Copies of this chain bind each other. A is one copy, B any other.
Amino acid sequence: MKRITLLIVAIAAFAGAVALTARASRHANQEDTPTYVTEMPAGYREWRFVSVAHEEGNLNSFASVLGNDIAIKAYREGTLPFPDGAIIAALHYKFVPSAENNKAFGRDQSFVAGAPTNIQFMIKDSKKYAATGGWGFGHFNNDGKKVDDAFMKTCFPCHQKIKERDLVFTRYAP
């Protein structure tokens, strides 16, 4: 009986040590590498409209920015910082001329959303994403291509430039 008790104590001690080590390494990891959003929030295509944007150049993008209920409420009430639970989604499409619209107008002037390219998210969780201003950044390519850490590391430094609006560039369109 004594032997078995000893064995159980030894196993428990070992398990505890393993758990502690794992916790410590996870903690170190959290400080080194910012945590990104790895799963798309559900139901984002049903969210309400915040605003639109267009980027020229390499991006050549058309964006529609949507917000979940917490984000929309904060936007409308001018609440800063955004409360935990707020999520902002930027749905990106190619910025393409519309041949059928131009034909109807009788001149080349119309641009519409082409193929979807990627969706970006900002999720507010002041504890989980403390290292990046309380925001978790996510980027999901529509072609299924994974985004690497080097790319994701560029989100926070750029968004930090708009600290006065809690790292959110997009303003609410009335």
**A residues near B, CB below 8 A?**
45-49, 51-57, 59, 62-64, 66, 91, 93, 95, 98, 100-101, 103-105, 107-113, 116, 158, 161-162, 169-171, 173-174
Say how far A153's CB is from chain B's closest CB, in angstroms.
16
How many angstroms between the C-alpha atoms of A63 and B110 in the bound complex?
A: 11
Tell me the bound Cα distance from A63 to B62 in angstroms: 11
With a CB–CB cut-off of 8 A, which chain B residues contact A116?
173-174
> A20 to nearest B CB, angstroms?
42
Contact across chains for A55 and B161 when beta carbons are under 8 A apart: no
Residues in B neighbouring A162, C-beta threshold 8 A: 100, 104
Cross-interface CB contact of A173 among B93, B100, B111, cutoff 8 Å: B93
- Assembled-state Cα–Cα distance A52/B93 (Å): 9
Residues of B within 8 A of A100 (CB): 162, 169
Which B residues are in CB contact (< 8 Å) with A49? 45, 47, 49, 64, 66, 91
Contact B112 A59 (CB under 8 A): no
Q: A55: which B residues are within 8 A, CB to CB?
A: 105, 109-111
Who on chain B is nearest to A159 by CB? Answer: B104
